[in-house]
Amino acid sequence: MLDFGTAVRSYYRNYTNADGRAQRSAYWWVLLFQLIIYGVLATVVYMSDGFSDWYQMIKNAAEGGTPDFGVQLGISGNLALTLGVFFAIGNFLPQIMLEIRRFHDLGQSGWLVLVFRILGVLPVVGNIAGLVNIIWFIFPGTVGGNRYGPDPLRKDPDVFG
């Protein structure tokens, strides 16, 4: 099992690597890392100047009113939103590669990532597909080697043989 720091470093080091397998901890530690980053950025946005006006605009639109798109966030809110967008763009490819390696660990084709991404844009079906994907990633990988590589959790007892 990988620790938090090792999982995040491995995630960025393997940002173009679709070969091999990724154990559960590699996936879930990276997901936690991303949630922390997005949580911090969202907190800055919510605390920035202009958020109450932004919230009111969304509330008016939800109640059938005409939204006023002239609402401005403060400098810190705009910076946090911009950083969030860059973080999302910068993590797109590494996330795809990690998911491919996670499917490999489960003994499945990496092309399933594409299937789940396409299904993810469909209303209702996308929610169900996302839930199935998350549940699938909870399961442990195949024990021992598979066609995608050796078991990342297996310790080779015959080190000197």
- Counted domains in the chain: 1
Q: How many CB atoms lie within 10 A of CB 30?
A: 23
Q: Are 97 and 114 in contact (CB under 8 A)?
A: no
pLDDT of residue 68: 62
**CB 3, CB 10: distance < 8 Å:** no
Residue 158 lies in a domain: no
- Residue 112 counted as domain residue: yes
Q: Provide the strand spans (E) within 36-88.
A: none
pTM: 0.81
Is there a domain that residue 134 lies in? yes
47 pairs with which residues across the strands? none
Report which DSSP code applies to 142. Answer: -
Report if residue 151 sits inside a domain: no
Nearest to 98 by CA among 154, 4, 2, 20: 20
Residue 147 is assigned to a structural domain of this protein: no
Q: Over its length of 161 residues, how does the chain's per-residue pLDDT go in tens digits?
A: 899 999 999 999 999 999 999 999 999 999 999 999 999 998 887 777 666 666 777 787 888 877 665 556 678 878 888 999 999 999 999 999 999 999 999 999 999 999 999 999 999 999 999 999 999 999 999 999 999 999 998 876 555 54
Domain of residue 65, residue span: 4-138
Q: Compute the distance between CA of residue 121 and CA of residue 109 in angstroms, rounded to an integer.
A: 21
Let me know if residue 157 belongs to a domain: no
**Which of 47, 40, 50, 53 has the alpha carbon at shortest distance from 83?**
40
Is 21 part of any domain?
yes
Is there a domain that residue 150 lies in? no
